Amino acid sequence: MPILNIHTHYPTANPEVLAIESLYFGQPTPGSSAWRSVGLHPWYLDFPEIALAEHWLREQAARPGTLAIGEAGLDHSTSTPWLRQVQAFECCLRVAADTRKPLVLHCVKAYDEVLGLLRRYALPAVFHGFDKHPQVAARLWQAGYYLSFGAALFNSRSHAAEALRQTPADRFFLETDDKKLDIKQVYERAADIRGSTPEILQAQAWENFQNLGGSILLPGKNDHTT
Ligand SMILES: [Zn+2]
């Protein structure tokens, strides 16, 4: 069973880790990981045609090793025009629905809007980089979505630790995002917070990944599940 890092921007050299590297349209350097998510990031939507991005996204989604669609989502704190963000997010939702892949979501101050659009598609989804109040977390996991926690777990002023403590075991993932962190440190920190062990959390996150639909997308999945 690999140690899952559900969202990172860097490849990993550790063969024990299954790291899902996030790629976005217009990214200056191509990703080099065996496993990836592909999306239209709300920060990087300054291109002329959504149709061009959708073509790229569908091509990338069809590559072996693409396990999820994302980052995708909405962000009220960025300068990207709102209409363009909605168009790009809807494009990601269409591709996720057509390819039956789960979503990795970037959501900043836009929970109502993201949940509203998600409801139309009924897709499995992970809210990555979660650092909000446990009440916001509960709203998401009660709606059937997953939360992924990372660097904010090390910040004592963040609500992330309390949100993780209150999140049911079958609803969490862990990640390093764009931080130069070792995912094993994140599992150790999360284990302290939940009064558990890194090994138990690794097994639980892997089981959650199966339930998310991620494992059906892995070639040779039996190697991982036995
Ligand atoms: Zn990210």
The C-alpha atoms of residue 70 and residue 101 are separated, in whole angstroms, by 10
The C-alpha atoms of residue 51 and residue 28 are separated, in whole angstroms, by 20
The CA dihedral of 217, 218, 224, 226, to the nearest 10 degrees, is 60
Ion ligand 1 contact residues with beta carbon within 5 A: 177
Burial class from Cβ neighbours inside 10 Å (0-12, 13-18, 19+) for residue 20 reads buried
CATH of 3-225, one of 3.40.430.10, 3.60.15.10, 3.40.50.720, 3.20.20.140: 3.20.20.140
- Answer whether residue 206 shows pLDDT above 60: yes
Beta bridge partners of 103: 69, 125
The confidence score (pLDDT) of residue 13 equals 87
The C-alpha atoms of residue 67 and residue 107 are separated, in whole angstroms, by 20
Contact 41, 91 (CB under 8 A): no
Residue 51 Cα distances to 54, 58, 111, 173, angstroms: 5, 11, 26, 32
The alpha carbon of 128 and the centre of ligand 1 are apart by a number of angstroms equal to 8
The alpha carbon of 162 and the centre of ligand 1 are apart by a number of angstroms equal to 22
Q: How many residues does the chain have?
A: 226
The alpha carbon of 178 and the centre of ligand 1 are apart by a number of angstroms equal to 6
- Answer whether residue 219 shows pLDDT above 60: no
The alpha carbon of 129 and the centre of ligand 1 are apart by a number of angstroms equal to 8
Sequence ranges of the domains in the chain: 3-225
Task: Give percent of the chain above pLDDT 90.
Answer: 86
- Answer whether residue 223 shows pLDDT above 50: no
The alpha carbon of 226 and the centre of ligand 1 are apart by a number of angstroms equal to 30
The C-alpha atoms of residue 184 and residue 25 are separated, in whole angstroms, by 29
The alpha carbon of 166 and the centre of ligand 1 are apart by a number of angstroms equal to 23
The alpha carbon of 58 and the centre of ligand 1 are apart by a number of angstroms equal to 20
The alpha carbon of 197 and the centre of ligand 1 are apart by a number of angstroms equal to 26
pLDDT, tens digit (0-9, with 9 covering 90-100), for 22-50: 999 988 888 888 899 999 999 999 988 99
pLDDT, tens digit (0-9, with 9 covering 90-100), for 54-71: 999 999 999 999 999 999
The alpha carbon of 41 and the centre of ligand 1 are apart by a number of angstroms equal to 9
Contact 169, 196 (CB under 8 A): no
